[in-house]
A = this chain, B = another copy of it.
Amino acid sequence: MQKYQYLKLADNIESGISNGNFKVGDRLPSLRNMHIRTGLSISTVYHAYIELENRGIVEPREKSGYFVRPRFPKVFPPLEIKDLQPRPQKVGVNLLAQSIQEAIRDPHVLPFGAAVPSMDLLPQRQLASSIRTIASRYTKKKEMNYGDPTGIKELKQEIVKRALGYHEDVDEEEMVVTNGCMDAIHLCLRAVASPGDTILVESPTFTCYLQLIEDLNMLALEVPTDPEKGVDIEQVRAGIDRHNVKAAIVCPNFQNPLGFEMPAAAKQEFVALLGNKEIPIIEDDIYGDLFFGGSRPRTMKSYDKDGNVLYCSSFSKTLAPDLRVGWTLPGRYLQKVKRVKFNTVIASSKFNQLIVADFLHNGGFERHLRRLRSALLNQAGNMSLAVGRYFPSGTKISTPRGGYVLWVELPEGVDGLHLFYQAKQNGIFIIPGIICTSTERYRNCIRISCGHPWNNQWEEGVRKLGALISTAKDD
């Protein structure tokens, strides 16, 4: 009888979590409070909490009670490689992507589209302190003149110090500071490939890579990509055997839009495979510090002995998008990247670099990252549960291992682009999957961002999206 009661309480709490009454990251009421609230004995409540912990739904934290754990309904099957033969494609996403990206800047829509943190999650106070420090030193003569095109030493040193955890033997002399990560990717791509060349990318991939490839009149070779493990190595092998691939752009850690972490062995294999053919790899690691698991994953760069990986990252997803401070370690393409950088913008402003360097040195970046990761994990968990609650059956959701976004495959026949327009009219911004490819795929997919702390407005937004999809499905 007593067993029955604790199980019943556990079941009640579990369904309260599923239907959103408890959010991921919430603390359960204390034993005493729940005892008062339910009339059950302290011991029964305690057994219910232990039961929930055993089910993997809550976790105890020392001296602060039981918390609802992030959960991702496992609903995305592994990739089926159909008899796809990836072929180099002309890219034509810019017109559509541009009109969609302009909607991002509307402050009146629910921002389920942009892969950026809520500004509330950024370390405003500590950043303000770095800004004050630098402001008082900046107008010294030395700082106001053109800087070194490769960036300032203080910043490079701070970045190298941190990077030792996830790739080895980095030297600040091998680094070029850039105006954000896309600038780094742009400089690297211009350094290693020319118009008409074929660039290997994951499929689906980040829209901005495709837009850049289109602008530079290059072709995209999209390789099937598993939502849990990343790009399919056999398909990569076949692709580079069959086609004259000039470079690859990949995001092995918490890829946008799928959120996977490529396993270490697969990273190594990819590096070896392209290294043998001397096909340069542009590695986008912008989300690398935003892992949901226990440790910082390694980079492809860390497995590269020949300087064939051009590593790119930035502080836009972790510190402040507007600072536009990124960097690249372009391996053996260093001289060429330096040259393209100089010929494009002469140099980056030292001002922003000095601020980031000061923050990295004094601002408690690691502590901030711990908080940010924990918030993102909770947000992704809440978003995932809410999608599970409100979207029609047949919906598949990715299980991101880090980063900002969920990839959602809607039931067959639902048009993601149509949904984008409908959602926009309803004040909700999402990314239609169709702009994450240069093919005709992903028409029934959307990307949803989890950058914001969960609240009722968000819950309501997902509910509304679900209703729109159900209507579309029934049409």
B residues in contact with A94, CB < 8 Å: 339, 343
Kindly provide the distance from the CB of A31 to the nearest chain B CB, expressed in whole angstroms.
Answer: 39
Task: Count residues of A near B (Cβ-Cβ below 8 Å).
Answer: 61
Contacting pair B322 A345 (CB below 8 A) = no
Query: When A182-B344, A340-B215, A351-B351 are in contact, do A116 and B145 touch as well, CB less than 8 Å?
Result: yes
Encoded as 1 (CB less than 8 Å from any B CB) or 0, chain A from 117 to 134 comes to 001101011011001100
B residues in contact with A85, CB < 8 Å: none
A346 contacts B by Cβ under 8 Å: yes
A148 contacts B by Cβ under 8 Å: yes
Copies of this protein, total: 2
Kindly provide the distance from the CB of A346 to the nearest chain B CB, expressed in whole angstroms.
Answer: 5
Contacting pair B183 A344 (CB below 8 A) = yes
Encoded as 1 (CB less than 8 Å from any B CB) or 0, chain A from 176 to 203 comes to 0001101100100010001100000000
Kindly provide the distance from the CB of A356 to the nearest chain B CB, expressed in whole angstroms.
Answer: 11
Kindly provide the distance from the CB of A454 to the nearest chain B CB, expressed in whole angstroms.
Answer: 18
- Chain A residues with CB under 8 Å of chain B are 94, 98, 101, 104-105, 114, 116, 119-120, 122, 124-125, 127-128, 131-132, 135-136, 138-139, 141-148, 179-180, 182-183, 186, 190, 194-195, 208, 211-212, 214-215, 217, 316, 320-324, 339-340, 342-352
What are 27 contact pairs spanning A and B, CB under 8 A?
Answer: A98-B339, A119-B141, A119-B145, A127-B139, A128-B139, A131-B138, A131-B139, A145-B320, A147-B322, A179-B345, A180-B345, A180-B346, A182-B346, A186-B345, A194-B195, A194-B217, A195-B195, A195-B217, A208-B346, A211-B339, A211-B342, A215-B340, A215-B343, A215-B344, A322-B349, A322-B351, A324-B345
